[in-house]
Amino acid sequence: MNDQLPTTSPFDGEPAEHRGQRALVTGASSGIGAATARRLAHEGYEVVLVARRRERLVALAEEIGEWSKAPVSIEQCDITDPEQVTSLRTAVGGGLHLLVNNAGGAVGQEPLAEADFEAWETMFASNVFGTARVTQALLPALEAAHGTIVFVTSTAAEAPYEGGAGYCGAKSAERAMVGSLRLEIVDRPVRVCEVSPGMVHTEEFSLTRFHGDQAKADAVYAGVAEPLVADDIADCITWMATRPTHVNIDRLVVRPRAQAANHKVHREG
Ligand code: 8X3
């Protein structure tokens, strides 16, 4: 056992007893996904952590397992690989109460005139096709449990910005999927929700976007007194999921106070 791991929940109050519900979080290895897994575990969900990086999932499962009263498990899966998604469906089996479609992200911020279409393919593979495949694969299990799906989109889907054609396009496509799905399954007992985060300072989002260039990644948040942190979005997701089951929160758009719009960010100094 790693004695660096916390032995108490990072949240106020005792973790809830196991509520007999199971939640699956994609992209759980860092950022919003990891924060959401912690929050849901604190609320008493049995959490299934899904991501490509097994060692990160193991460390997070150990951390949560130190204090959570509900079981936590891991499923290594690259959601862009159809065979791995099929295996995930088999591993999950029946009865899933909550799916958090968080895996995805941005790669590059070039103008269209200089766009790297391999980066676009990477973005569409995870944010759009991978998310669609996971949703399709797990829909029967969600329906069996009268479950909820929360898609983590982005304010990139609210309005395009310069250099965002690929990412804004992918997140807009994901948003369209959310809207279509909600219409298609209105007669079934599954809620379809969306959280649309603005500027969230996480370990990896901007670093990935700028191909590991830490200075460029840091510049995104420069002078912003309080960008959102991953747990702010995890808090929103947990709130949406824990409303009474007849209440469907269609979409929450969440930005830091200093970001009034994609283009309007107050920076100090
Ligand atoms: C994150 C928000 O502004 O980088 O999805 O597109 S933004």
At residue 29, the 3 state secondary structure works out as coil
Q: How far is the CA of 21 from the centre of ligand 1 (A)?
A: 31
Nearest CA to ligand 1 atom 5: 154
Is the whole model's pTM more than 0.95, yes or no?
A: yes
Q: For residue 159, how far is its CA from the centre of ligand 1 (angstroms)?
A: 10
Based on the residue annotation, tell me whether 221 is a catalytic residue of this protein. Answer: no
Can you identify the CATH homologous superfamily of domain 22-265?
A: NAD(P)-binding Rossmann-like Domain (3.40.50.720)
- According to the model, what pLDDT value does residue 7 have? 86
Across the chain, mean pLDDT equals 96
Q: Which atom of ligand 1 is nearest to the CA of 206?
A: 4
Give domain limits for the chain: 22-265
CB 192 within 8 A of CB 150: no
Per-residue model confidence as pLDDT tens digits over 97-133: 999 999 999 999 999 999 999 999 999 999 999 999 9
CB 12 within 8 Å of CB 36: no
Ligand 1 centroid, distance to 116 Cα (angstroms): 18
User: Which atom of ligand 1 approaches the CA of 205 most closely?
Assistant: 1
Distance 188 CA to ligand 1 centre (A): 32
Question: Would you state the pLDDT for residue 50?
Answer: 98
Pocket of ligand 1 (CB under 6 A): 154-156, 197-198, 262
Burial 65-95 (b: 16+ CB within 10 A, else e): eebbebebebbbbbbbeeebbeebbeebeeb
* DSSP per residue, 113-134: GG--HHHHHHHIIIIIIIHHHH
Burial annotation 144-165 (CB, 10 A radius, 16+ → b, else e): ebebbbbbbbbbbbbeeeebbb
74 in helix, strand or coil?
A: strand
3-state secondary structure of 65: helix
Distance between CA 148 and CA 159 in Å, rounded? 26
Residue 269 is predicted with a pLDDT of 83
Mutating to test ligand 1, I would choose from 259, 262, 263, 264 the residue with most ligand atoms within 8 A of its C-beta, which is 262
Question: For position 1, what pLDDT does the model report?
Answer: 46
Residues of the chain where predicted confidence (pLDDT) is lower than 70:
1-4
Sheet strands (E) in the chain: 22-26, 46-51, 72-76, 98-101, 148-152, 191-197, 251-254, 259-261, 264-265
| Res 3: pLDDT | 59
pLDDT of residue 2: 54
